Structure formats: structure tokens, C-alpha cells
Amino acid sequence: MLTKIKNFFIVLLLVLVISQFLRPEKNEASYDSITAFEEATLVSSDVKTILENNCYDCHTNSTRYPLHMEVSPVSHWMAYHIEEGKEHFNISEWESYTIEEKDHKLEEFIEEIRMMKMPLKPYTWINGELSSQDREKLIKWAKETRIKIKEKPLDSLPKAESDTIVVDSVKVDSIK
């Protein structure tokens, strides 16, 4: 019996050591797409700080990795949560969303914050919970952004690859 337990722990140790060499791909892209989002949504400095500290790690293409996230299996667990978070709302892809998608993403954002589903509990164990004031700031900003998106649809549309622009049903060739 003692030999079986000893063998089990040896195998477990070998699996953990080997898993350190099988690393998930890191989520480390340029901050440019985040800047585009912040400019398009007129993020205040207060809201920007809240987003940076509580949202960007899982909902952008640019994650800050603390040291404890370099150890497997924690690194795999975090990679899974980042991928899942980006499936629901990827701030780095903001410019590619249609007006309806942007509105829907912000509607879901408001609901997740209001229902205290975001940030995820495991994330808050180390980074702390959102205060009620921070929640209200995020909700207020998201509601205002939803209104602005609906008011300025041309500014919110994804960039077209065409040389022709249609304005008030009149076709205009762009100047190069």
C-alpha cells in the first residue's frame, strides 16, 4: 500500500514537472487596440484605471501576467479563462464590432457588473473585489457609451476596405 502511494506521488511530481515545459500561448499583443477602444468610448481616467485593474487582463489581447501565473497548471487555467473572456467581450476587437454588437456587448457588460458576476471570483482573490463606487462608475460609463454609439453611428462603424463612401445615399469617391 505504501509503495502505491509513493508511486502515485512520483508520477504526480513527474506530470507537474513535465507540464512546466508545455506552456499555453501568452496573450501579449500591442496596447494600440485598447487605446482605440478608449478613444472611441471616451473613457475617463477613473474608468480607465478600473478597466485596467479589473477587466483588461481577460478581455483584451494584452494580459499582464503576475509571477504566480507562470506556474503550470495555473497558467493553463488562466489561459482558459482569458480565451473564454475574450469570446464574450474582447475590447481589442472593438473596432470590428457592428453598432448592434457594440450595444449588446455593453448591455451584457452592465448586466455582468450589476449582478456582480465580473470580475470572476478567482480573479478577485488576488486583485480584490470591485467597490460599489467602481461598479457604479463602470455602469454609468457603459450606459453613456451605449447612448453615444446610437447617436453617432458613422463613428462606430467598422472601417471599410472600399474607396467609395456613401453619404446620405449619394456615392462619393474618396480622395487619395
| pLDDT digits 0-9 by tens, 8-66 | 888 888 877 777 777 667 666 677 778 889 999 999 999 999 999 998 888 998 877 66
DSSP per position, the chain? -HHHHHHHHHHHHHHHHHHTTSPPPP-B--SHHHHHHHHHTT--HHHHHHHHHHTHHHHSSB----GGGGSTTHHHHHHHHHHHHHHH--GGGGGGS-HHHHHHHHHHHHHHHHTT--S-HHHHHHH-PPPHHHHHHHHHHHHHHHHHHHH-HHHHSPPP--SEEEETTEEEEPP-
| pLDDT digits 0-9 by tens, 93-112 | 999 999 999 999 999 999 99
Confidence class of residue 176 from pLDDT cuts 50, 70 and 90?
A: very low
Residue 157: pLDDT above 70?
Answer: no
Residue 162: the pLDDT is 45
Residue 124: the pLDDT is 75
Residue with the bigger pLDDT between 118 and 160: it is 118
Residue 170: the pLDDT is 53
